[in-house]
Amino acid sequence: MFFLCVLRYALYILVPLSLILSSYLYLYPVFHLCAFPSPNQDAKSSYFNTILQHTPFSSEDSKSVAQFRLLALGDPQLEGDSSIDFVESTTFPHFSKFFDDAFGSKHGPLQSVRHGLHDLVDFYLDDIPKALEVYRKRLDHIGNDYYLGHIYRTLHWWTKPSHVTVLGDLVGSQWIDDEEFESRGWRFWNRVFRGGIKVAEELTSQPAENFEGAMILGEEKEEWKRRIINVAGNHDIGYAGDLDQGRMARFTRMFGKANYEMRFNLPVNTTEEDHPVPELRIIVLNDMNLDTPAGVKELQDETYNFLNSIITTSQDVTRAAHFTIVLTHIPLFKEAGVCVDGPFFDFFDGEFGNGVKEQNHLSMDASKGFLEGIFGMSGNTDVPGHGNGRHGVILNGHDHEGCNVYHYINQSSDPERVWKSTTYPSALATGITEEMLIPGLREVTVRSMMGDFGGNAGLMSLWFDEEEWDWHFEFVNCKLGTQHIWWLVHILDLITLGVGFVYGILVVLQSSPWNLIDKKVADGNSGKQNGILYEKKGNGHAGFSTDAQPVKLNGGVHQTVAGKGSLRKKKSKATMNGLSSNGQKLLRVVFLPDYKYRVQEHVRCSQKSSDPGSPGVSATFTFGTTSINAFKRQTPRAKNGDSNRKAWEQQDLAVLKNVLFNTTQTMSGLPRYPKALVPLTSEEPVVCKHENPTISRVSLYELPAEVLMIIGELLGPVSASSLALCNRTVLWKLGNRHFKRLARDHPLNYPILDSRRAVNNAVTRTRSNLERLLKMLDKESKDVIYCYYCKRLHRPEHTAASVPGYGGTSRSFVPCAYVHRYQYPYEAVHPMFSFALARMVMKLHRAGLDYLKYLQTIPRTRIDYKETHTYLRSIEFRIAPIEGGHLILRTQHWYLVPIYRFNLYRITICPHKKDLTLLFDLRQSAKIWPHTVRYLEVAHPPTRNTDMKKYLCPACLSEYQIDSKRMSDETLAICVTVWQDFGTCRAPFDARWKRLSLANQTASRNAYITTGIMSQYFELWRPSDEYLSGPIRELFTLARPEIGLGQCHR
C-alpha cells in the first residue's frame, strides 16, 4: 500500500525530529545552562549544584546552595478579546440580517433581493474573514498562555526556587471591564501559573516599630514555592491619573494586596551572642501613583503613608546582617541612554484631574526618596553609617527590554551632590562599586517574559556569609526564545501523533483477517497481496513487507506478475482449489516443528517406524477431520563434548507432497475440530480414539479458518510461512503474522566487509528463520536467487554482472552490486561474469529450463584494434554432463605482436597470487616466458608452425595453453586459451568458486602492447582444436556447445 509506505517513511523523519525538538523545548534550561548563582559565584558550580538537586544526594541546606532563590518574571501581559477587533463578526451579523432583508416585509420584492444579495456578499467577504481572524487571535492567546506557563513550570521544575514574583503588568490593559478582567485572571491562575497561589493576606504585614510578624526563612518550603508575589503594574491598575478604587479593588481580590512587607529571619548556628540575627526584608510597593498629579488623591495618600511607615520602621543603617528587597513596577529615574527607555512623562488633558497618563521612569524626587528614604543612603558623610545606607536591591519591570543599573552618589564632589546612574557592568569595570565614598545601589529591571522579548526570566540568589556576617546576592537571566519555537514544536508533535495514529489504524485494518486481500486480488487481478515476498521496484531486491507483490514461484506460490491484471475467474478458482494456472498441483514444502504435539479431544496421532535406510519417525497428525502425513529424521550428535552421551536432534526434513488433507466424518456427519493444542511431554505413544473413521479428501482452502489457525500455531515460523504461501485463500486465513515473525528475527544490517575476519564472522553466524525460508524459495523459483550478501531474494536482471568498484553503477542496482568485485567472498571470476549470473544459469539448468538468455548478455567477442595495438578475445560456455552439472568457461585471448618494432611486452594471463604473466622478450632470443612457472623458447625469428605449451595455475587450478605462430615476416600471433571449471555454482563458498575468485588484489587482464599491426593472413589461421590433454578441457570437449566462438573480423 503506497499510502502506508509514505506514512512509514514520514514517521522515520517526524519521530526523531519531534523527539529532538521536544527534548530541547522541555529541557531548555538544561541546554542553556540556567541555574541560580551559588555562593562561590562560579557558573559551573551553580549548574552542577542544580543537577544535584535532581538526584537523591541533593540537600537544599548545603552551603553551596543559596538560602533565598527568587524566580523573577516580568510583564506577562495576558491579552483578551478586548485587544481583538471585530469580535462581533463571530456572530455573523450580515447572515442574520440576510433573513430579515430577504424574508421580511419592510422591503419590496426587488429591494429584498437586492438587500439579501448585499448581505450574502458581506457575509462571505466580511463576516467570515473577520471571524477567522478573531478565532486565529483567540488561538494565539491560548498558545501564548501555555507558552508563558511553559516558561514558569519548566524553570520552576529545573531551578527549584524558594520564592516566585511577577513584577507587574499581569494583564494586558487597565481599561478592560470586570468580566474580561476576571477571565484573564482565571487564565493567569489556571494556565500560566497553574498550581500557583497568591500570597495570603495573613502573611502580609504593615510596617510597625516592634515588628512581630517575622517568619523563618526555610520554613514551609513547598508552600512558598507555590506562592506568587504579585506586583501591581500600569496595565493592572493604571497610572496615577487613571488609577481608581474599582481597579485597585479587583486587583487585590484577584492577585493580592498592592502594598505590604514581609520579614524573614535566618537561623544560624553561632556562639557569638553579639551578632544580630540575619534578617531579610521584602517590600512590595505600588509606585504607580508616587508621582503627581494623581486622579484619586486618597489612593496616593495610602501609598505615601505606607512608604513613610516603611522608612520610619526600618532598621538602623549601622545594623549588620540586614538586607532589603524592594519589588515594584516602574523603574527609578536614570539619564537617557543608560537603558532602552529614556525619561518620559505624559498627562491627561482635561480629564482624570490632568493626572499622569504615561511614564517610563519615576521622577527624580521619587527616585531620591527610594534611595535615601528606604535604603538610608546619603551624600553626606556626617550622617549615621557615613551615608552608605542599608544593603539591598530593587527589582522592577515595565521596561520590556530589561536593564541592569547601578545608582550612586559621589560624597567627595561639590556640596550640591546629585544621584547618577550607569550600567552595572560599567560600574564594575570602573570600580565604582568598591569605592567607600561613593554609596550606591543596584537596580535590576527584569526583561519581559513575553515571546517578543525571548521568554526571559530572572534568577536572583541571596545567601548569608557567616564569616563576613552579611548578605550577598547575584542575578542572572535565562531565556527560552521566541514563542514561534513553542508553536513549531507542538505543531510538529501534533502532526507526528496524527500520522502515527493514522498509520496505526491502517496497520490494524490491514492485518485484520477480513482485509488481508484487497478487492483486486480477490477478483483474480494481479495486485498487491499482504505477507508475500515481493520485488521492490527501483532497486531490485526482495524482502518481507505488508505491502507485498508476489514473486512468481515454481510449483508452490500463486503466480502473479506485476502489470498483468487479466486473470480470469476460472484460473483464479483453479488456484483456490489447489491448482496452478497451468493445471498442475501446487506443491509446497512444509517443515514440522522440532517437538511433537498432542491434540486434545477428537484428535488421533499414530506413529510408526520409517524405512530402515532413514532412521526417524513417520507421523500422522489428525486435527478433528484433518490429517498431515510427515516424516522426521533423527541425527545423533555428541552433547557437551561427551561422545558416550547422545542427544537426538530432530531436523526439519519432511514435506507435504500436496495440499490435500484426509478428513473424517463424525456420527452426525458434521466435522469436529480440536479445542486446544498442548506440547506432548510424555514418552508414551498416543493411542488413536477412532479405529475405522470414514475417510474422504478435501482441498486445503475448504478447511475452516479455525483449523488452519491451529495448524499455523502448531508449525514453526518457517513452516507456517511455507504453508501460507500455498495459495491466496490459505494466506487469507493464516494472515501475515508469521512473516512478521520472520522479519523480526532477521538481522536487517548488512555485514561490514572491512576485513576477512569480519566477513568470516558474518558468514559463519547462525542462519535465521528468514534465511531458511528464502533459501527454500530460491530452490523452487526460476526467477529469483538468494543473495548471500543482502540476505534477500534478487532478480538477476537487477544485479550487476560486473562492478569495477563502489559507485560505478546506477542506483537502481541492489546493495550487493556496490561491493567491490574483488571483495571476499563475493567476487566475480570474470570482468563480465558475476556469481549471481553463474548461479542463475546452473539453477535453470538443473530445473530443465532455458538459461541461454542470461549467457547471451555476456559479450562473446571483443576486438581492440588501433594502429599500435591489436587485441581479440572470444569466450564460450558449456555445461559438463556430470552429476549436478559443471559450468565450464573457455576464454581465448589473441594478440598480434610486431616483431621488429618492439622490445619487451608483458601480458597478464592469471591475475592471482602467483602473478602468472607472459613476458615476450624479442630483443635477442625471442622468448615467451610465463613468470613463476616456466618459459617457452621459440626460434628467432619464429617459424610459421604453431608452438604449443600447456600450463596450470596452482592457485585456481585453471588450465592454460599458449599458442604462437609466425604470421608474416613482421607479425607474431599469440593465442592464450584458458579453461575454467566453476563447478555447480550453488554458493559463493564452494571450493571451486573460491579458487577461481579474484582474491587479495586487483589485476588487469588487458594486454599492454604499445605497437602492433593487423596481418592479412590472420583471419585464415586458428589454433588447432587438438589441444593437449587436461581434465577441464576434456569436460569442455564432452559438453554440448551453448554459445559459439563467433567470428573475428578486421
**CA 388 to CA 386: how far, in whole Å?**
6
Among residues 165, 229, 225, 233, the alpha carbon closest in space to that of 203 is found at 229
**Based on C-alpha coordinates, what's the Rg of the chain?**
47
pLDDT above 70: residue 620: no
Helices 717-724 and 769-780 pack at an angle, to 10 degrees, of 40
Grid coordinates in use for 665? 466424518
Buried b (16+ CB within 10 A) or exposed e, 954-978: eebebbbbbbbbbbeeebbbbbbbb
**CA 916 to CA 908: how far, in whole Å?**
7
- Please give the pLDDT value at position 990: 73
Res. 493 pLDDT band, cuts 50 70 90: very high
Percent of the chain with pLDDT over 90: 34
Res. 955 pLDDT band, cuts 50 70 90: low
- Please give the pLDDT value at position 999: 37
Identify the residue with better confidence: 153 or 534: 153
Give the Cβ contact number of residue 464 at 10 Å. 21
Which residues does 140 contact at the CB level (< 8 Å), separation at least 6?
A: none
**Ranked by mean pLDDT, which of 96-100, 244-248, 1030-1034 comes out on top?**
244-248
Instruction: Give DSSP secondary structure letters for 939-970.
Output: -SS--SSPEEEEEE-TTT--EEEEEEEE-SSS
Percent of the chain with pLDDT over 70: 57
Helix, coil or strand: residue 26? helix
For residues 661 and 700, the answer to whether their CB atoms sit within 8 Å is: yes
Q: What are phi and psi of 846, to 5 degrees?
A: -70, -25
Among residues 531, 68, 520, 153, the alpha carbon closest in space to that of 323 is found at 68
Buried b (16+ CB within 10 A) or exposed e, 661-686: bbbbeeeeeebbbbeebeeeeeeeeb
Give me the residues paired with residue 618 across strands.
608, 631
Res. 1029 pLDDT band, cuts 50 70 90: low
Residue 17 CA from chain centroid, whole number? 7
**Ranked by mean pLDDT, which of 121-130, 441-450, 772-781, 856-865 comes out on top?**
441-450
Burial (CB count within 10 angstroms: exposed 0-12, middle 13-18, buried 19+), residue 60: middle
For residues 455 and 481, the answer to whether their CB atoms sit within 8 Å is: yes
Residue 1025 CA from chain centroid, whole number? 65
For residues 405 and 337, the answer to whether their CB atoms sit within 8 Å is: no
- Please give the pLDDT value at position 598: 31
pLDDT, the chain, mean = 70
Helix, coil or strand: residue 1037? helix
Give me the residues paired with residue 747 across strands.
none
For residues 474 and 458, the answer to whether their CB atoms sit within 8 Å is: no
**CA 775 to CA 586: how far, in whole Å?**
19
Identify the residue with better confidence: 396 or 658: 396
How many helices (H) and strands (E) are present in the chain, helices listed first?
26, 40
Give me the residues paired with residue 679 across strands.
597
pLDDT digits (tens, 9 = 90+) for 607-616: 333 333 333 3
Res. 343 pLDDT band, cuts 50 70 90: very high
For residues 517 and 728, the answer to whether their CB atoms sit within 8 Å is: yes
- Please give the pLDDT value at position 482: 94
The mean pLDDT value for 920-936 works out to: 41
Identify the residue with better confidence: 560 or 312: 312
**CA 22 to CA 693: how far, in whole Å?**
67
**CA 489 to CA 652: how far, in whole Å?**
53
Grid coordinates in use for 312? 520610619
Domain boundaries defined on the chain: 1-31+483-511, 72-78+160-480, 515-591+715-843, 597-699, 859-1041
- Please give the pLDDT value at position 885: 82
**Ranked by mean pLDDT, which of 495-509, 587-601, 766-780, 856-870 comes out on top?**
495-509
Identify the residue with better confidence: 181 or 275: 181
For residues 967 and 894, the answer to whether their CB atoms sit within 8 Å is: no
Res. 1040 pLDDT band, cuts 50 70 90: low
Which residues does 1 contact at the CB level (< 8 Å), separation at least 6?
A: 506, 510, 528, 546, 547
- Please give the pLDDT value at position 1041: 63
Res. 874 pLDDT band, cuts 50 70 90: confident
Helices 245-255 and 178-187 pack at an angle, to 10 degrees, of 20
**CA 400 to CA 496: how far, in whole Å?**
36
pLDDT above 90: residue 730: no
**CA 577 to CA 586: how far, in whole Å?**
9
- Please give the pLDDT value at position 923: 45
pLDDT above 70: residue 946: no
pLDDT above 50: residue 900: yes
Grid coordinates in use for 152? 514558569
For residues 506 and 547, the answer to whether their CB atoms sit within 8 Å is: no
Range with lowest mean pLDDT among 15-19, 140-144, 962-966 = 962-966
Among residues 1005, 976, 1008, 1009, the alpha carbon closest in space to that of 898 is found at 1009
pLDDT above 60: residue 582: no
Buried b (16+ CB within 10 A) or exposed e, 694-715: eeeeebbbebeeebbebbbebb
**Ranked by mean pLDDT, which of 296-300, 662-666, 782-786 comes out on top?**
296-300
Residue 301 CA from chain centroid, whole number? 64
What letter would DSSP give residue 188?
I
HEC string of 770-800?
A: HHHHHHHHHHHCCCCEEECCCCEEECHHHCC
The mean pLDDT value for 571-591 works out to: 37
Give me the residues paired with residue 876 across strands.
890
pLDDT above 50: residue 776: yes
Helix, coil or strand: residue 462? strand
pLDDT above 70: residue 476: yes
Range with lowest mean pLDDT among 561-570, 585-594, 724-733 = 585-594
Residue 880 CB-half CA count within 13 A? 22
What letter would DSSP give residue 79?
-
- Please give the pLDDT value at position 800: 46
**CA 846 to CA 683: how far, in whole Å?**
43
Identify the residue with better confidence: 77 or 632: 77
**CA 91 to CA 722: how far, in whole Å?**
65
Burial (CB count within 10 angstroms: exposed 0-12, middle 13-18, buried 19+), residue 783: middle
| CA distances from residue 79 to 137, 181, 360, 651 in whole angstroms, order as listed | 10, 10, 21, 76
Instruction: Give DSSP secondary structure letters for 887-912.
Output: EEEEEEEEEEEESTT-SEEEEEEE-S
The mean pLDDT value for 492-508 works out to: 93
Amino acid in position 254: M
- Please give the pLDDT value at position 920: 53
The mean pLDDT value for 937-949 works out to: 38
Identify the residue with better confidence: 270 or 762: 270
- Please give the pLDDT value at position 304: 94
- Please give the pLDDT value at position 785: 77
